[in-house]
Protein backbone atom coordinates (compact mmCIF):
# COMPACT_ATOMS: atom_id res chain seq x y z
CA UNK A 1 0.00 0.00 0.00
CA UNK A 2 2.74 2.53 0.94
CA UNK A 3 4.81 1.66 -2.15
CA UNK A 4 1.80 2.26 -4.39
CA UNK A 5 1.04 5.56 -2.65
CA UNK A 6 4.64 6.74 -3.12
CA UNK A 7 4.65 5.70 -6.77
CA UNK A 8 1.36 7.47 -7.51
CA UNK A 9 2.53 10.59 -5.67
CA UNK A 10 5.72 10.78 -7.71
CA UNK A 11 3.68 10.45 -10.91
CA UNK A 12 1.81 13.67 -9.96
CA UNK A 13 5.04 15.64 -10.46
CA UNK A 14 5.41 14.26 -13.99
CA UNK A 15 1.71 14.73 -14.76
CA UNK A 16 1.89 18.40 -13.75
CA UNK A 17 4.21 19.10 -16.71
CA UNK A 18 1.64 17.50 -19.05
CA UNK A 19 -1.23 19.79 -18.02
CA UNK A 20 -2.51 21.77 -21.04
CA UNK A 21 -2.77 25.05 -19.13
CA UNK A 22 0.23 26.00 -16.97
CA UNK A 23 0.86 29.57 -15.86
CA UNK A 24 3.78 31.01 -13.91
CA UNK A 25 2.59 32.91 -10.84
CA UNK A 26 4.17 35.26 -8.33
CA UNK A 27 5.16 33.84 -4.97
CA UNK A 28 6.11 35.36 -1.62
CA UNK A 29 9.78 34.57 -2.31
CA UNK A 30 11.60 35.90 -5.38
CA UNK A 31 13.77 32.75 -5.16
CA UNK A 32 10.83 30.39 -5.74
CA UNK A 33 9.47 29.36 -9.10
CA UNK A 34 5.74 28.81 -8.77
CA UNK A 35 3.28 27.57 -11.36
CA UNK A 36 -0.44 26.91 -11.51
CA UNK A 37 -1.91 24.31 -13.85
CA UNK A 38 -5.21 22.70 -14.70
CA UNK A 39 -7.22 20.97 -17.38
CA UNK A 40 -9.90 23.05 -19.11
CA UNK A 41 -13.42 22.70 -17.70
CA UNK A 42 -12.28 20.90 -14.52
CA UNK A 43 -12.67 22.31 -11.02
CA UNK A 44 -9.39 20.74 -9.87
CA UNK A 45 -6.20 22.78 -10.06
CA UNK A 46 -2.56 21.99 -9.24
CA UNK A 47 0.14 24.29 -7.96
CA UNK A 48 3.87 23.58 -7.96
CA UNK A 49 6.68 25.55 -6.37
CA UNK A 50 10.41 24.93 -6.44
CA UNK A 51 13.12 26.56 -4.37
CA UNK A 52 16.64 25.86 -3.19
CA UNK A 53 16.85 26.15 0.60
CA UNK A 54 19.71 26.34 3.11
CA UNK A 55 18.87 23.19 5.02
CA UNK A 56 19.55 19.51 4.93
CA UNK A 57 17.04 17.12 3.37
CA UNK A 58 16.32 15.75 6.84
CA UNK A 59 15.52 19.21 8.23
CA UNK A 60 13.07 19.91 5.41
CA UNK A 61 11.45 16.49 5.83
CA UNK A 62 11.14 17.00 9.60
CA UNK A 63 9.42 20.36 9.00
CA UNK A 64 6.91 18.73 6.62
CA UNK A 65 6.37 15.71 8.84
CA UNK A 66 5.39 17.68 11.95
CA UNK A 67 2.34 19.22 10.33
CA UNK A 68 0.85 20.22 13.72
CA UNK A 69 3.85 22.37 14.69
CA UNK A 70 3.40 26.01 15.66
CA UNK A 71 5.70 26.94 12.76
CA UNK A 72 3.18 25.50 10.29
CA UNK A 73 0.08 27.01 11.91
CA UNK A 74 -1.92 29.39 9.72
CA UNK A 75 -4.57 31.92 10.69
CA UNK A 76 -7.19 30.02 8.66
CA UNK A 77 -6.60 26.68 10.45
CA UNK A 78 -9.63 25.45 12.39
CA UNK A 79 -8.20 21.99 13.20
CA UNK A 80 -5.08 19.97 12.46
CA UNK A 81 -4.46 16.62 14.06
CA UNK A 82 -3.03 13.16 13.58
CA UNK A 83 -5.83 10.62 13.59
CA UNK A 84 -3.63 7.53 13.45
CA UNK A 85 0.11 6.89 13.61
CA UNK A 86 0.73 3.82 11.46
CA UNK A 87 4.52 3.64 11.82
CA UNK A 88 7.47 6.09 11.96
CA UNK A 89 7.03 7.02 8.28
CA UNK A 90 3.25 6.86 7.84
CA UNK A 91 0.22 8.48 9.52
CA UNK A 92 -3.31 9.68 8.79
CA UNK A 93 -3.88 13.41 9.32
CA UNK A 94 -6.92 15.69 9.36
CA UNK A 95 -6.99 19.37 8.36
CA UNK A 96 -9.84 21.85 8.40
CA UNK A 97 -9.59 25.41 7.06
CA UNK A 98 -11.98 28.28 7.82
CA UNK A 99 -14.73 29.09 5.40
CA UNK A 100 -14.83 32.31 3.40
CA UNK A 101 -17.43 34.97 4.10
CA UNK A 102 -16.99 37.98 1.83
CA UNK A 103 -19.93 39.92 0.53
CA UNK A 104 -22.52 37.49 -0.81
CA UNK A 105 -19.96 34.62 -0.90
CA UNK A 106 -20.33 32.32 2.06
CA UNK A 107 -18.29 29.12 1.79
CA UNK A 108 -18.35 26.50 4.52
CA UNK A 109 -15.05 25.34 6.05
CA UNK A 110 -13.04 22.89 3.90
CA UNK A 111 -11.71 19.71 5.49
CA UNK A 112 -9.59 16.85 4.28
CA UNK A 113 -8.10 13.59 5.51
CA UNK A 114 -4.79 12.44 4.06
CA UNK A 115 -2.59 9.41 4.39
CA UNK A 116 0.96 10.78 4.76
CA UNK A 117 4.05 8.72 3.94
CA UNK A 118 7.70 9.43 3.18
CA UNK A 119 10.63 7.44 1.86
CA UNK A 120 14.31 8.00 1.21
CA UNK A 121 15.12 7.33 -2.44
CA UNK A 122 18.32 5.81 -3.78
CA UNK A 123 19.32 8.99 -5.63
CA UNK A 124 19.98 11.06 -2.47
CA UNK A 125 16.43 12.38 -2.18
CA UNK A 126 13.28 12.04 -0.10
CA UNK A 127 9.72 11.86 -1.38
CA UNK A 128 6.78 12.91 0.81
CA UNK A 129 3.24 12.08 -0.32
CA UNK A 130 -0.19 12.88 1.12
CA UNK A 131 -3.06 10.98 -0.49
CA UNK A 132 -6.74 11.70 0.23
CA UNK A 133 -8.41 8.99 2.30
CA UNK A 134 -11.14 8.45 4.89
CA UNK A 135 -10.99 7.52 8.57
CA UNK A 136 -13.50 6.01 10.98
CA UNK A 137 -12.91 8.77 13.55
CA UNK A 138 -13.84 11.60 11.15
CA UNK A 139 -17.14 11.22 9.38
CA UNK A 140 -18.41 13.83 6.94
CA UNK A 141 -20.07 16.77 8.69
CA UNK A 142 -22.95 18.87 7.35
CA UNK A 143 -21.31 22.14 8.42
CA UNK A 144 -18.08 21.40 6.47
CA UNK A 145 -17.17 20.42 2.93
CA UNK A 146 -14.91 17.39 2.44
CA UNK A 147 -12.32 18.04 -0.25
CA UNK A 148 -9.39 16.11 -1.70
CA UNK A 149 -5.97 17.68 -1.11
CA UNK A 150 -3.25 15.48 -2.64
CA UNK A 151 0.33 16.62 -2.01
CA UNK A 152 3.74 15.47 -3.17
CA UNK A 153 7.12 16.94 -2.24
CA UNK A 154 10.54 15.97 -3.55
CA UNK A 155 13.58 16.96 -1.50
CA UNK A 156 16.94 16.56 -3.25
CA UNK A 157 20.36 17.16 -1.67
CA UNK A 158 22.60 19.82 -3.16
CA UNK A 159 26.19 20.61 -2.14
CA UNK A 160 27.11 22.85 0.81
CA UNK A 161 24.15 22.09 3.07
CA UNK A 162 21.46 23.06 0.58
CA UNK A 163 18.63 21.14 -0.97
CA UNK A 164 16.10 21.51 -3.76
CA UNK A 165 12.52 21.51 -2.51
CA UNK A 166 9.71 20.83 -4.99
CA UNK A 167 6.16 20.95 -3.64
CA UNK A 168 3.09 20.08 -5.68
CA UNK A 169 -0.43 20.43 -4.24
CA UNK A 170 -3.94 20.17 -5.56
CA UNK A 171 -7.25 21.34 -4.17
CA UNK A 172 -10.68 20.84 -5.57
CA UNK A 173 -13.20 23.54 -4.76
CA UNK A 174 -15.76 21.11 -3.36
CA UNK A 175 -19.42 22.02 -3.26
CA UNK A 176 -20.53 25.63 -2.80
pLDDT number for residue 117? 98
Give CA–CA dist 57/28, Å, rounded: 22
- Is there a contact between 51 and 33 (Cβ–Cβ < 8 Å)? yes
Mean pLDDT value across residues 123-132: 94
CA-based torsion, 73, 77, 78, 83: positive or negative: negative
What φ, ψ does residue 41 adopt, rounded to 5°?
65, 20
Report the sign of the C-alpha dihedral through residues 61, 63, 67, 72, in that order: negative
pLDDT number for residue 175: 55
What is the tens place of the pLDDT at every residue in 35-56?
Answer: 999 888 887 889 999 999 999 9
pLDDT at position 174: 57
Pairwise CA distance, residues 142 & 146, whole Å: 10
Between 174 and 139, residue with greater pLDDT: 139
Instruction: State the pLDDT confidence band at 176, using cuts at 50, 70 and 90.
Output: very low
Q: What integer pLDDT is reported at residue 41 of this predicted model? A: 81
- CA dihedral defined by 145, 40, 115, 28, rounded to 10 degrees? -90
Exposure of 135 in the CB half-sphere (CA atoms within 13 A):
21
| pLDDT band per the 50, 70, 90 thresholds, residue 122 | confident
Q: In the chain, what is the straight-line distance between the N-terminal and C-terminal CA atoms, in Å? A: 33
Amino acid sequence: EEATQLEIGQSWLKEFDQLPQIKKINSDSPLAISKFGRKPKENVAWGRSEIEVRASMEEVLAFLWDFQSRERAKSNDLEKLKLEEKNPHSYIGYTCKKGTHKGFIKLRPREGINSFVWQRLEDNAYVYVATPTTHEHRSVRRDRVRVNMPIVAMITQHPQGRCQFTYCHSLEAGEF
